[in-house]
Chains A and B, each alone.
Chain A
Amino acid sequence: MTAIPSDNLQPSPYGIAERDNTFNNPARRSPLVVGNSASFHAITEKICYVAEAPRPPRAWYIAFGVAFVWMCMLGTMLTYLLFTGVGVWGENRPNMWAFGITNFVFWVGIGHAGTLISAILFLFRQKWRTGINRFAEAMTIFAVCCAGIFPAVHVGRAWFAYWLFPIPNQMGLWPNFFSPLLWDVFAVSTYATVSVLFWYMGMVPDLATFRDRAVTKWRFLLYGLLSLGWRGSNRHWHVYEKAYLILAALATPLVLSVHSVVSFDFAVSQVPGWHTTIFPPYFVAGAIFSGFAMVITLAIPARELFGLKDFITMRHLDNMAKIILVTGSMVAYSYLMEWFIAYYSASPFERFHFMNREFGNMFWAGWIMFGCNAIVPHVFWFKWFRQNKWALMIICALVNVGMWFERFVIIVTSLTRDFLPSNWHWYYPSYVEVFTLMGSFGLFFTLFLLFCRYLPMVAMAEVKSVLPQADPHYHPDHLGHPGASGYAGELTPAERH
């Protein structure tokens, strides 16, 4: 990657020491955009450059190549599946669900962080969200894309999967509104729709910036179409901000509802290990937990690769690590509570299930889940782990492994040994299932890498709005005067220059 043109950048109001001091003095917040990027022009230049550079960095090509091959593998596996039958997977009786639903719940879970960051943190006026919200939302949408594949292809007759939707028909046949799977259909499709809308709407001003900077006809046409005639007028901004707020308000309950509804697939049934009322909050916490882990997993390479360290600062990573710690503790609490309830319920089936989960034939899966989700995140109590990029990457990867296994344990371990001992049967995944899971990552990364290259990765307009300069009372000459700027007030005079 060629160097970012910097000659006509505005100098940062902060010195190089202000670059990122998150860990130097936790008592004082570091700025949201650091280094010489903390100016309107620098933001535009740096973010647009990712999409406007003549060619992306070589690492992008390598990553895209790998992801694309894996995505093709997904296509091959799904084609084979649809032309042959669900039997090419390892499912059997009693394990009628396995990788398919595990992957579905896993990906839906991943998709939680984006909307949480964009909607809930927006409503709570958490300004630090602006640096990461765009690609977290993109991640959400791509994760939901991956998730959406599995319920559709895991059914025996995928070509009739549309019967899940309440489509008026001449036979007067409606879906069964008692079934949690149907609730899933509504919850996930609503979530996907709102997430896409939210993501796209938030992107409109930035797409207009792309349009305005376009030097080729194609870019002009495409970004022009996508930016929907945005002119940046006052009226536009007024409507935009209202709509954004409304969408955020709409999306917020969805963050909580979608995984609650997904958890009903299990909670409403009567399989020991599924049938438990703790599932809705537990699943939501777990989803946010895994979603943030995935955001960190994506953010660290992305900020290195595309020069976004000034926008996605260590402060962002630190904040997200803390959220992982909180949600991880909630998940751990849920695990312990499940054990307690199993004991306290005195239901022999529940008791057996939880003994079996930890000490039965698939104990290893149970302990991977417990170890990765309930124990490993607690290293984030220590600062070193939150500021070390490698540690963050490894722990977040472990969290995602653990969360995948959580779904696998809940689904498969429960089914392998349910009520009648005569039905107990092992489950082994087939190679098709394993490659399908890998392929879904290929799809996810392919979409993500395309997004990085062709769409504004960071919400430029929003980041600009949280710069000190955006404050109407911002006066760089009077830094230090109380009330001059939310940030300046936190700086000591010695640190100012």
Chain B
Amino acid sequence: MNGEKPKGKLYWRSLDELADKPEFRAFVEREFPAHASEWFGASRRAFLKVMGASMALAGLASCRRWPEENLAPYSHRPANRMEGVPVHYASAYELGGMGHGIVAVSYDGRPIKVDGNPSHPLTGRSADIFLQASVLNVWDPDRSRHVTAQTKSGTETQDWQKFTAYVKQHVKPNGEGIVFLSEASRSPTVAALRKRFGAAKWFEWEPMSCDNQRAGALAAFGRPLRAVPRLDAADVIVSIDADLFFAEPLSIKFNADWAKGRMLRDNDHAATARMNRLYVVESGFTITGSTADHRRGVRPSQIPGVVAALAAALGQGNAKVATLDPSMQAFINAIAADVKASAGKAVFVAGSRQSPDVHAAVAAINAAINAPVDYYADPEDPRAEQGWTPHSEHIKAFAQAAPSADLVVVIGANPVLTAPRDLKIDEILRSKSAIHLGQYVDETARECLWHIPQAHYLEAWGDVRTFDGTVSIAQPLIEPLFGGKSTIEFLSALSGQDEAGYDLVRATAKEYIPGYSEWNWKQALFNGVVANSARAAEKLSPNVANLTAAISRVATVPAPAGGEGYELALYTGMLYDGRFANNGWLMELPDPMNRCAWDNPLLVSPNTAKKLNVDSDQVLKISANGNDIEATVYILPGHPDNVLSLAVGYGRKGLGTIAEEVGCDGYALKSTKDGSYIPVQVGYTGKVNPLACVQQHHMMDLISDLGKKRMEAEVPLLVVEGTLEEYRKNSSLGTRKVVSLSMFNERSYEHVHKWGMAIDLTVCTGCSACVVACTSENNVPVVGKAMVYKGREMHWIRIDRYFKHNADDPQAVHQPVTCMHCENAPCEEVCPVAATTHSAEGINMMTYNRCIGTRYCSNNCPYKVRRFNFFDYNTGEMATHYTPNILRPDIDDLYKMSKNPQVTVRMRGVMEKCTYCVQRIENARIKVRAENRDHADTVMIPEGMVVTACQQACPTNAIVFGNLNDPNARVTKLHALNQNYGLLDPELNTKPRTLYLAKVRNPAEGLDPQWYDDERWRSKGFFFEEKPGEEGAEKPGTPPGPDNPPGE
């Protein structure tokens, strides 16, 4: 306004302004403090007078102070942008150097949900728990927010410009004198940027690396190839300590491929049904072990011997094999016989934590039996150029190279926590000028001179290759919330150029997008995968001598020095390698085997617990390599004796509010000389740490074993199980069907949808992806350890785990339980305010606004799937549940941003539960009705348009949802199968909408009779005793009734 008329469009606030009268100018000048010069020369009295008047008028003046708002209305709505309508973007995520294709859901610019990309070779449309939960990290208020530098006066907040100035001073072109330590990355752009630092040394480190497998391939075939077993092509799968369904980099694919060989969804051909068979030898008790048809738990030190014995039984290798105990030998012989019988259709898979020797031997065996395994080369690997060594060796090389470096740059990795402690990475970093790029101010960041916040993958451009080389481009869904920099932007800045991520990715894309053009680029972005970027599997020409040598090496692995000492096996738990330590969804996700949340219990077998004279919840002191930790015991039946298992990534300090001092840090015990296990000493502390276990482990009764007996009698009815042989003879597998007559008129579902679900226990592996998916989709709050301990966790879907047979050698089963949407819903009858009612389409609905929280519905629900908001879980800080609402600090706004706007966020005092993802049904309905306006009232939602969150996440397709009135819907066909049953339906006549398909295992003949000839397990049903050979007892399918009209 300084006398000069503004250019462009003129907006005016009043007629005076428009006229630009001198009075108006004077007014403007008075308003602004720049003209406070008026005060000069005022007397003390005048000053006081005016101040007094100002004070008096302050109240009035405040009335005129409007909140400042910036409105930016669209004059033209941007394409694909409609407020409140979710937008789906294909993007990519990298975990441990493995690319995952994702589809992220964004509401008004907020990414709130991540699923697999159906066209991606690894994920398909499903996602594992880490992928699902990764979106919560975007909204983590504890992520690092500032560039910081260590100065004499402590840690100081700096900015990006200061950092780039520092870089310009200290980084030489060519990167001379720099030593990099990076997390594994198979990004073509990172690989391209790496070339800028030709003179630098580049090291890679992943604590939960699958590198030993490639080291094995190096030994067996001379090249560090990645082995990709094709489980869908295998009839016999032998897992050597591989947690196929949870912890392996290819777990999502393994789940899906394995399930393909186990689908029993055709009763007409039941007599000739086929199934693959899974043998597991493992050093813990994982979901892979519980899913297996046959399983043995052994000590980690015995695994090489088992592999050697397997090779010998298959006629491979010529080394002398140590003698095994007879039952193990019988087991190995059975596997060998089975493998021989299915030539070319059997595959061995060794677990990531096994030694290169074991992997080499397994590769050799696979080569010998012509197993369906593909091998892929990995040219993006930085080590490909410098003589390949696995991560465990690479970190040692880093520790040697770093002390003589001018500058150490740590990218994403957290070696101070995760590297073997005898390398003393913390001291090295402290003594050098070190730069750290990471999402958290973690253990490593605190030792480095500079810390740069790393952008979340949903905030930055990037690209990544998956196992077969398929490239996916990562596109950001949101600006970096805390100004973080992606790895490629960081590297670019380090090279003195400071280019934008988008330009960097596009520059590399020219190389990997075949026939690059603007159209192809957009196509690749849209699809989430770059077409034709996959590599062909390598053709191998194995050297027989190498293979024999590989096998003979495992046979000569010396027995552990400790003899009968305790072996600690670290495993990948709910936090992956610890990078998800501050992720509430994963922290609160109960481990599928031990069912504990918010802790990493030390898993021991009942025998070992007896030997150690400890019980669950007691704290032991575990020492090795000069360090010790205090770990809480959990007695896990079926765990091998003398082995202690501990999940990694816990026991963190100063990382964030969620991670703070939860559990103990298993990494602390690891040294460079340890292989797949750590020999440890066990001491006592006398402390007790109650574990937050969602299925009680103290089921022991005070004066009798009633509860145990009850479970033994009841669980066979809840989880109906049979063998393939039984299924072939009688596909109903003894599931109990009821014809229920009602005194009332049943609800009619003519001309409307009739939603229903089927859960196939045969292919459910317990991987828990559905639980996290549901948490993410339905705004399920994280409630904290104290609440979980009290039994107040909020998950809408849970995975029950039951053990069966005896405690020393049990089998375990997983059963996902969610609201059954009963036709005769016990909850609906008892709600005094009619807050839970039946919808016209058969969904048991919950009206939060109407709920007053009598909790009667939960009492009357036999499945106990209803969850109650005992506190205001969504509005206050987690640690302050017991503080009255008005005194509670508000929860960080960022958490509020992570909520799905289509699902009500529940307040305290209301009940909640699974809704069959009713918001997804309504979305589909809106779409279908809009597309069929002329007959919108009668149009039906076609099959496949509504996919529930749990169904979408399930990698094995165990969960199927759809319209039971649609005869072609998959769920209708599954509901017609004979092996169907409703949980507790025969007892309570609840008529659940969700039916289970009985679990079928495929045991080898005569093996493990203690499991498969267990009469207790076999005696199904005390309500309707099925006499052997009595045909009349079996009724094919659900009999016709109001719920199941004939002719469907």
Report A152-196 residues with CB < 8 Å from chain B CB.
Answer: 154-158, 160-161, 163-164, 173-176, 178-182, 185
Residue of B nearest to A411 (CB): B859
The yes or no answer to B47 lying at the interface (CB within 8 A) is no
Task: Please determine whether B853 and A359 come into contact, CB atoms closer than 8 angstroms.
Answer: no
The yes or no answer to A23 lying at the interface (CB within 8 A) is no
Q: Given that A83-B884, A87-B882, A93-B868 are known contacts, is A360 also in contact with B987, CB under 8 Å in the complex?
A: no
The yes or no answer to B713 lying at the interface (CB within 8 A) is yes
Report B451-475 residues with CB < 8 Å from chain A CB.
Answer: none
Q: A93 — which chain B residues lie within 8 A by C-beta?
A: 791-792, 858, 864, 866-868
Q: B881 — which chain A residues lie within 8 A by C-beta?
A: 84-85, 87
Q: A96 — which chain B residues lie within 8 A by C-beta?
A: 855-856, 858-859, 868
Main secondary structure of the interface of B (DSSP, over half): loop
Task: Please determine whether A420 and B817 come into contact, CB atoms closer than 8 angstroms.
Answer: yes
Among the listed stretches B248-256, B574-582, B701-709, which one makes contact with chain A, having 4 or more residues with CB under 8 Å of it?
B701-709
Report B741-800 residues with CB < 8 Å from chain A CB.
Answer: 787, 790-792, 798, 800
Task: Please determine whether B832 and A84 come into contact, CB atoms closer than 8 angstroms.
Answer: no
Q: Given that A94-B858, A176-B833 are known contacts, is A360 also in contact with B706, CB under 8 Å in the complex?
A: yes
Q: Mark A259-300, 1 if CB is under 8 A from B, else 0.
A: 000000100111100000000000000000000000000000
Task: Please determine whether B829 and A420 come into contact, CB atoms closer than 8 angstroms.
Answer: no
Report A298-353 residues with CB < 8 Å from chain B CB.
Answer: 347-349, 352
The yes or no answer to A449 lying at the interface (CB within 8 A) is no
Among the listed stretches B176-184, B208-216, B513-521, B869-877, which one makes contact with chain A, having 4 or more residues with CB under 8 Å of it?
B869-877
Report A41-96 residues with CB < 8 Å from chain B CB.
Answer: 80, 83-88, 90-96
Q: A355 — which chain B residues lie within 8 A by C-beta?
A: 706
Q: Given that A181-B856, A271-B859 are known contacts, is A422 also in contact with B831, CB under 8 Å in the complex?
A: no
Q: Given that A156-B853, A348-B714, A421-B710 are known contacts, is A179 also in contact with B831, CB under 8 Å in the complex?
A: yes
Residue of A nearest to B908 (CB): A85
Q: A347 — which chain B residues lie within 8 A by C-beta?
A: 987
Residue of B nearest to A425 (CB): B791
Residue of A nearest to B855 (CB): A96
Q: Determine the distance from Cα of A164 to Cα of B856 in the docked complex, in whole angstroms.
A: 13
The yes or no answer to B263 lying at the interface (CB within 8 A) is no
The yes or no answer to A21 lying at the interface (CB within 8 A) is no
Q: A155 — which chain B residues lie within 8 A by C-beta?
A: 852-855, 909
Q: A419 — which chain B residues lie within 8 A by C-beta?
A: 862-864, 984, 987-988
Report B510-531 residues with CB < 8 Å from chain A CB.
Answer: none
Q: Mark A402-432, 1 if CB is under 8 A from B, else 0.
A: 0000000000000101111111111000000
Report B694-732 residues with CB < 8 Å from chain A CB.
Answer: 695-696, 699, 701-704, 706-707, 710-711, 713-715, 718
The yes or no answer to B395 lying at the interface (CB within 8 A) is no
Task: Please determine whether A269 and B860 come into contact, CB atoms closer than 8 angstroms.
Answer: yes
Q: Determine the distance from Cα of A356 to Cα of B709 in the docked complex, in whole angstroms.
A: 11
Q: Given that A80-B884, A179-B829, A270-B826 are known contacts, is A86 also in contact with B706, CB under 8 Å in the complex?
A: no
Q: B817 — which chain A residues lie within 8 A by C-beta?
A: 420, 422
Q: Determine the distance from Cα of A395 to Cα of B833 in the docked complex, in whole angstroms.
A: 41
The yes or no answer to A230 lying at the interface (CB within 8 A) is no
The yes or no answer to A388 lying at the interface (CB within 8 A) is no
The yes or no answer to A465 lying at the interface (CB within 8 A) is no
Q: Determine the distance from Cα of A425 to Cα of B792 in the docked complex, in whole angstroms.
A: 10
The yes or no answer to B119 lying at the interface (CB within 8 A) is no
Task: Please determine whether B696 and A157 come into contact, CB atoms closer than 8 angstroms.
Answer: no
Task: Please determine whether B833 and A175 come into contact, CB atoms closer than 8 angstroms.
Answer: yes
Instruction: Give the total of B residues in contact with A, Cβ under 8 Å.
Output: 68
Q: A158 — which chain B residues lie within 8 A by C-beta?
A: 852, 909
Choose from A156, A163, A417 the contact partner of B855 (Cβ within 8 Å).
Answer: A156
Choose from A92, A361, A421 the contact partner of B802 (Cβ within 8 Å).
Answer: A421
Task: Please determine whether B868 and A179 come into contact, CB atoms closer than 8 angstroms.
Answer: no
Task: Please determine whether B864 and A85 come into contact, CB atoms closer than 8 angstroms.
Answer: no
Task: Please determine whether A423 and B707 come into contact, CB atoms closer than 8 angstroms.
Answer: no
The yes or no answer to A220 lying at the interface (CB within 8 A) is no
- CB A431 to nearest CB in B, in angstroms, measures 11
Task: Please determine whether B833 and A163 come into contact, CB atoms closer than 8 angstroms.
Answer: yes
Choose from B854, B864, B885 the contact partner of A420 (Cβ within 8 Å).
Answer: B864
- CB B849 to nearest CB in A, in angstroms, measures 9
Q: A200 — which chain B residues lie within 8 A by C-beta?
A: none
The yes or no answer to A97 lying at the interface (CB within 8 A) is yes
Task: Please determine whether B832 and A179 come into contact, CB atoms closer than 8 angstroms.
Answer: yes
The yes or no answer to A385 lying at the interface (CB within 8 A) is no
The yes or no answer to B886 lying at the interface (CB within 8 A) is yes
Q: Given that A156-B852, A269-B826 are known contacts, is A173 also in contact with B706, CB under 8 Å in the complex?
A: no
Q: Determine the distance from Cα of A173 to Cα of B832 in the docked complex, in whole angstroms.
A: 12
The yes or no answer to A435 lying at the interface (CB within 8 A) is no
- CB A217 to nearest CB in B, in angstroms, measures 44
Q: Given that A181-B832, A352-B710, A355-B706 are known contacts, is A86 also in contact with B853, CB under 8 Å in the complex?
A: yes
Q: B908 — which chain A residues lie within 8 A by C-beta?
A: 85-87, 156-157
Q: Mark B826-857, 1 if CB is under 8 A from A, else 0.
A: 10011111100000000000000011111110
Q: Determine the distance from Cα of A154 to Cα of B870 in the docked complex, in whole angstroms.
A: 11
Q: Determine the distance from Cα of A356 to Cα of B909 in the docked complex, in whole angstroms.
A: 31
Task: Please determine whether B860 and A85 come into contact, CB atoms closer than 8 angstroms.
Answer: no
Q: A179 — which chain B residues lie within 8 A by C-beta?
A: 829-832, 856
Choose from B800, B829, B871, B886 the contact partner of A87 (Cβ within 8 Å).
Answer: B871
Task: Please determine whether B859 and A178 come into contact, CB atoms closer than 8 angstroms.
Answer: no
Choose from B695, B702, B910 the contact partner of A361 (Cβ within 8 Å).
Answer: B702
Task: Please determine whether A92 and B707 come into contact, CB atoms closer than 8 angstroms.
Answer: no
Q: Given that A156-B869, A421-B715 are known contacts, is A181 also in contact with B884, CB under 8 Å in the complex?
A: no
Task: Please determine whether B862 and A181 come into contact, CB atoms closer than 8 angstroms.
Answer: no
Q: A349 — which chain B residues lie within 8 A by C-beta?
A: 987
The yes or no answer to A474 lying at the interface (CB within 8 A) is no
The yes or no answer to A244 lying at the interface (CB within 8 A) is no
Residue of B nearest to A93 (CB): B791
Q: Determine the distance from Cα of A87 to Cα of B829 in the docked complex, in whole angstroms.
A: 25
Interface residues of B (CB under 8 A from A): 695-696, 699, 701-704, 706-707, 710-711, 713-715, 718, 787, 790-792, 798, 800-802, 815, 817, 826, 829-834, 850-856, 858-860, 862-864, 866-872, 881-886, 907-911, 983-984, 987-988, 1022
Having A155-B909, A176-B833, one finds 13 other A-B pairs with CB under 8 Å, namely A94-B791, A95-B791, A96-B858, A96-B868, A155-B852, A173-B850, A179-B856, A348-B710, A355-B706, A361-B707, A421-B714, A422-B798, A423-B864
A-B contact pairs, 11 of them (CB 8 A): A87-B792, A87-B882, A87-B908, A158-B852, A158-B909, A175-B834, A181-B830, A270-B860, A271-B859, A421-B711, A422-B802
Interface residues of A (CB under 8 A from B): 80, 83-88, 90-97, 154-158, 160-161, 163-164, 173-176, 178-182, 185, 265, 268-271, 347-349, 352, 355-356, 359-361, 363, 415, 417-426
